[in-house]
């Protein structure tokens, strides 16, 4: 006899005290019965009415929104964005929080993940416990930096209007203006056009050039609209069957400027979304690694060659750089961007399969900027056998970073320094740069 499903608790409301911030843009609370609630739109120390959005009786935890604030935190402000709040746009987690408090919350999450997953205190990680804002982002409460140079708009199939997804939902929240979208995105006027027949519209505003691009993903059988925006723009189309990207008109790439060089990024490929991010991260990595002339360096998950180019500049003609990247378009772009460095080689494939095949047994320096899931135990174990003087780990997820730092420790490396940067204001995301060295060095 099939057991009866547990009763859904969606819509149930609880009056709760909000506890600490947790990884993922929410805070932790408990019902009177002891069930864990992950509550969005709340702040530590507040008393709120939390309405369940996901979960059932007997579940390990429930997800909820704070729908009424009974006792507010001193760090709470009125959300500047009219689309933020329970049941609305899911793009920003912390619109209701003062900017300085947002960075403190992110620091608390980093510290908690380091302790829980790597057994490290901030002092042991060489971290001062702060999250630094990007240049120009330190604004008064209520002002929002327009920082996002790549915005993926979803299209409401009923109205053809562009918007953003609601939290953990496929439903579209139509918007007239995304407040964190860069001026170059805002100027295109995406939100004011009819996109009937499209699944999504990605808008890109390059940093350091006037390049603007939209990447259209049509619904099956739909024809592309005539794209008439408020600024000149290139148009690309995603093939609905293969996922490949094709040029409709204009350039198939944008030109991004960082570290004194221009980088070609094709087909809506990956580039840091904050206009200050690329330079900020290159500076942090190079200051941590201190490359020397003649060094042999690895740039793993190298994308279009941002760190590989910075390393090549600094190791000189007698040095060498090997980059490894799994995306075909990114590899082609990296080879184009680094054509002026004869001692740079870019290999295509996954790091864990390509690196062993290269036959490389030694490296002086390593940079890795893995995807959100991290590098993983086997890749880290391989890296620790190469004898690198220093390793720079660039991470967009503090949990994955902490897990991998524990693996590095198992392989004989310790964290020398860690720096954290708020390159995603109003969201829970944060970027970290950890510099590692052999455990016996400088201890």
**Domain that residue 159 falls in:** 150-251
Identify the residue with better confidence: 178 or 240: 178
5 pLDDT band (50/70/90 cuts)?
Answer: confident
| 242 and 312 assigned to the same domain | no
Q: What pLDDT score does 6 carry?
A: 86
| Domain limit, last residue, from 73, 88, 114 | 73
Q: What share of the chain in percent tops pLDDT 70?
A: 99
287 annotated to bind ligand: no
Alpha carbon 396 to its chain centroid, in Å, reads 5
- Digit-coded pLDDT (tens) for 31-85: 999 999 999 999 999 999 999 999 999 899 999 999 999 999 999 999 999 999 9
- Digit-coded pLDDT (tens) for 315-358: 999 999 999 999 999 999 999 999 999 999 999 999 999 999 99
217/156 Cα distance (integer angstroms): 13
| 207 and 290 assigned to the same domain | no
391/310 Cα distance (integer angstroms): 15
441 pLDDT band (50/70/90 cuts)?
Answer: confident
Give domain status of residue 310, yes or no.
yes
| 315 and 416 assigned to the same domain | yes
Among 226-230, 293-297, 335-339, 421-425, the range scoring the smallest mean pLDDT is: 226-230
| 233 and 327 assigned to the same domain | no
Instruction: Assign 3-class secondary structure to the chain.
Output: CCCCCCCECCCCEEEEECCCEECCCEEEEECCCCCEEEEECCCCCCEEEEEEEECECCCCEEEEEEEEEEECCCCECCCCCCCCCCCCECCCCCCCECHHHHHHHHHHHHHHHHHHHHCCCCCCCCCCCCEEECCCCCCCCCCCCCCECEEEEEECCCCCCEEEEECCCCCEEECCCCCCECHHHHCCCHHHCCCCCEEEEEEEECCCCCCEEEEEEECCCCCCCCCCCCCCCEEEEECCCCCCEEEEECCCEEEEEECCEEEEEECCCCCCCCCCHHHHHHHHHHHHHCCCCCCEEEEECCCCCHHHHHHHHHHCCCCEEEEEECCHHHHHHHHHHCCCCCCEEEEECCHHHHHHHCCCCCCCEEEECCCCCCCCHHHHHHHCCCCCCEEEEEECCHHHHHHHHHHHHHCCEEEEEEEEEECCCCCCCCEEEEEEEECCCCC
Q: What pLDDT score does 162 carry?
A: 97
369 annotated to bind ligand: yes
393 annotated to bind ligand: no
154/195 Cα distance (integer angstroms): 10
| 345 and 265 assigned to the same domain | yes
325 annotated to bind ligand: yes
The whole-chain average pLDDT of the chain stands at 96
Among 209-213, 223-227, 316-320, 341-345, the range scoring the smallest mean pLDDT is: 223-227
pTM score of the predicted model: 0.95
- Digit-coded pLDDT (tens) for 291-302: 999 999 999 999
Give domain status of residue 78, yes or no.
no
Name the active-site residue from 27, 89, 92, 396.
Answer: 396
Q: What pLDDT score does 241 carry?
A: 81
Q: What pLDDT score does 443 carry?
A: 46
| 111 and 61 assigned to the same domain | no
Give yes or no for a contact between 365 and 298, defined as CB atoms under 8 angstroms apart: yes
Among 225-229, 306-310, 361-365, 392-396, the range scoring the smallest mean pLDDT is: 225-229
| 277 and 425 assigned to the same domain | yes
Counted domains in the chain: 3
For this structure, is 396 an active site residue? yes
For residue 25, what is the domain's CATH number? 2.40.50.140
Average pLDDT over residues 2-7: 75
Compute the half-sphere exposure of residue 293: CA atoms within 13 Å on the CB side of its CA: 3
| pLDDT exceeds cutoff 60 at 442 | no
| pLDDT exceeds cutoff 60 at 1 | no
| 348 and 374 assigned to the same domain | yes
123/73 Cα distance (integer angstroms): 28
- Digit-coded pLDDT (tens) for 191-205: 999 999 999 999 999
Q: What share of the chain in percent tops pLDDT 90?
A: 93
| 329 and 413 assigned to the same domain | yes
| 398 and 327 assigned to the same domain | yes
| 370 and 385 assigned to the same domain | yes
């Amino acid at each position: 006899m099939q057991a009866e499903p547990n009763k859904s608790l969606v819509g149930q409301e609880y009056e709760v005290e909000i506890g600490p911030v947790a990884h993922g843009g929410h805070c932790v609370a408990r019902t009177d019965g002891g069930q864990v609630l992950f509550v969005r739109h709340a702040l530590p120390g507040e008393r709120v009415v939390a309405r369940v959005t996901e979960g059932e009786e007997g579940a390990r935890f429930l997800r909820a929104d704070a729908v009424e604030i009974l006792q507010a935190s001193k760090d709470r402000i009125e959300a500047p964005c009219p689309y933020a709040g329970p049941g609305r746009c899911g793009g920003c987690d912390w619109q209701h929080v003062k900017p300085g408090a947002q960075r403190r919350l992110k620091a608390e999450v980093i510290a908690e993940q380091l302790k829980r997953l790597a057994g490290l205190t901030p002092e042991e990680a060489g971290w001062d416990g702060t999250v630094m804002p990007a240049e120009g982002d330190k604004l008064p409460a209520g002002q929002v930096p327009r920082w996002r140079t790549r915005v993926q708009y979803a299209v409401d199939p009923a109205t053809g209007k562009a918007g953003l997804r609601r939290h953990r939902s496929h439903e579209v929240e139509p918007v007239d203006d995304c407040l964190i979208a860069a001026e170059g995105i805002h100027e295109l006027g995406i939100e004011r056009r009819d996109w009937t027949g499209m699944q999504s519209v990605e808008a890109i505003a390059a940093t350091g050039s006037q390049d603007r691009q939209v990447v259209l993903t049509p619904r099956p059988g739909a024809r592309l609209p005539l794209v008439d925006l408020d600024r000149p723009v290139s148009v690309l189309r995603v093939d609905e069957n293969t996922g490949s990207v094709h040029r409709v008109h204009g350039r198939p790439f944008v030109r991004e400027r960082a570290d004194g060089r221009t980088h070609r990024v094709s087909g809506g490929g990956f580039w840091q979304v904050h206009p200050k991010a690329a330079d900020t991260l290159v500076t942090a990595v190079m200051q941590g690694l201190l490359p020397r002339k003649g060094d042999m360096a690895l740039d793993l998950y190298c994308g279009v060659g941002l760190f590989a180019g910075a390393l090549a500049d600094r190791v000189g003609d007698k040095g060498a750089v090997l980059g490894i990247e799994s995306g075909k378009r990114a590899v082609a772009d990296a080879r184009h961007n680094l054509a002026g460095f004869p001692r740079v080689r870019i290999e295509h494939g996954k790091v864990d399969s390509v690196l062993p095949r290269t036959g490389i047994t030694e490296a002086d320096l390593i940079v890795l900027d893995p995807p959100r899931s991290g590098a993983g135990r086997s890749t880290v174990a391989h890296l620790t056998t190469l004898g690198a003087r220093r390793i720079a780990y660039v991470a967009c997820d503090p949990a994955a970073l902490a897990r991998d730092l524990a693996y590095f420790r198992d392989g004989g490396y310790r964290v020398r320094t860690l720096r954290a940067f708020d390159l995603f204001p109003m969201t829970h995301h944060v970027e970290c740069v950890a510099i590692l060295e052999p455990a016996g060095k400088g201890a």
